[in-house]
Amino acid sequence: MNHLDQFENLADSLTQQGIDVAAVTEALKVQKIETPSWGYANSGTRFKNFGWPGAARTTREKIDDAAMVHKMTGMAPLVAIHIPWDKPEDGDYVAFRQYAQEQGVQIGAVNPNVFQDNQYRLGSLANPNPANRELALDHLLECCEIMTKVKSDVLSLWFADGTNYAGQDSLRGRKHRFEAGLNQVYEHLPAGGRMLIEYKFFEPAFYSTDIPDWGTAFALALKLGEYAQVLVDLGHHASGVNIEQIVAFLLDEGQLGGFHFNNRKYADDDLVVGSVNPYELFLIYNELTGAALSSDEPAKTTAQNVAYMIDQSHNIEGKLAPMILSVLNCQEAYAKSLLVQREELAGLQGTGEVLAAHNLLTEAYRVDVRPLLAKVRDELEVPVDPIKAYRESGYEGAIASERGTVDSSGGYQN
């Protein structure tokens, strides 16, 4: 039985359950995932980067690889960039944006780097040294200008700031410095731009982290204004944290700005999204889809404007194939979330039918949506089996031959 016949069988079954298959298909056709430029380079773990044949060495090669992922999936038209890793070789950001457009993709979020230089040993915006705080602020403001040049509407902020020892610094003092610095950056956001504040409960600081959790990021965003929101990285939580509950809360408060999708087993593992806990990924999408389809404000509008971004480090498994798999796993989780029979679920929840409500939700998760996704890819005119098509395209062999293997790679480097 071919995939179209399989789709017809699935569609008949879903229709009998009262699911609007055409609406589900249309929703899947407009799903978008943003991939990270650094995922195409030889980024890796904290201990060793294993050079991969053909890994991108330059900013434009990263764009080429991102364009290939979009060509295979039809749903990855945006590429996040990291500055200065992705500073164009000629320094021309307008030409860089135009090059991306010529390859069929656009620049997405701009990610500043205020954790790599020696001056940031004690932090960036929270650094006790005013000169080092100014250095960080200058870079953040530079990234606001870059947003304008590449036509990005998202400034994605993650900070390594924190302390390793009790008494090392004033915890309230660091909070005050952060608030002052972020406020200056917020005032320089380009028109239509958003600031997304990421959090992480530990690492590289091991005594205190200045933005350790979603509540801290939420409080900072509220003080800044309506164009500041929280960014949820799936790897930045302690084991057992209920991420979907955090998502629901932030949606309801209008403060969920975006995601960095990946997966974890122990810490910030940056594994392929959905590779460790696909059910958790489904539950997160269930909250997002439920809000987007509801009439509840501001949850509905917030859900419809979430930035879906991947943040992963592929160290032993190649570069493009795992990125394609990550995009497809997001597509599968979203598809299953669209199959949840929400009116029936709400009724069961309202009458306290605990097990029935749970079973109804998990039944949607158990549906084999591969025939549905094959139909969507047909209509998007992309390969039905994107990873197989990528393997057979010859692209990986071509870039391996052209680029060779280097120990580390990135954009412009001094």
Residue range 254-313, pLDDT digits in tens: 999 999 999 999 989 999 999 999 999 999 999 999 999 999 999 999 999 999 999 998
pLDDT of residue 36: 97
pLDDT band at 46 (very low <50, low <70, confident <90, very high): low
Parse the chain into domains and list their residue ranges. 31-340
Least confident of 51-55, 66-70, 123-127, 298-302: 51-55
Alpha-carbon distances of 368 from 156, 163, 332, rounded to whole Å: 35, 47, 9
Domain 31-340 fold is TIM Barrel (3.20.20)
State which H helix or E strand residue 355 sits in.
helix 354-366
Residue 67 in tokens: 């364009």
Neighbour count for residue 283 (Cβ, 10 Å) = 22
pLDDT at position 194 is: 98
**406: phi > 0 → left, psi -120 to 50 → alpha, else beta; which?**
beta
Percent of the chain with pLDDT over 90: 91
Q: What is the pLDDT of residue 408?
A: 59
**The pLDDT value given to residue 89:** 84
pLDDT at 139: 98
Q: Is the pLDDT of residue 141 over 60?
A: yes
- pLDDT by residue (tens digit) across 157-202? 999 999 999 999 999 999 999 999 999 999 999 999 999 999 999 9
Name residue 258's beta-bridge partners: 231, 307
Band (44; pLDDT cuts 50, 70, 90): low
User: Whole-prediction pTM value?
Assistant: 0.95
Mean pLDDT of 130-141: 98
Crossing angle (nearest 10°) for helices 354-366 and 342-350: 160
**386/295 Cα distance (integer angstroms):** 35
